[in-house]
Amino acid sequence: MNEPTPTLEQIRAHGIQVLGEQLGLVGMVRFLQHSETGWGNYTEERHQWLDDPDVRALAKDIQTHYPEKPAG
């Protein structure tokens, strides 16, 4: 009989549980901090954000996120 394949979330949850049991809370946190690498390619994505910015588009984005407050 074939067991269902666990999801990535289930595998991660089980792994964290086992790390906590074997290393203790502090050891688990230190291991996770050391081994987490993040996702994507920061250098490539950074160029998409910063290369040749359109000043008008940036100003519009800022105004959208931070509208002026009415005086008073």
Q: Where are the domains of the chain?
A: 8-65
Give the C-alpha separation, 48 to 62, whole Å.
Answer: 18
**For residue 26, pLDDT beyond 80:** yes
Mean pLDDT of 5-17: 94
pLDDT of residue 2: 82
Give the C-alpha separation, 35 to 19, whole Å.
Answer: 13
39-69 residue pLDDT tens: 777 788 877 777 777 888 888 888 888 887 7
Torsion sign, CA atoms 42, 43, 45, 47: positive
pLDDT of residue 1: 67
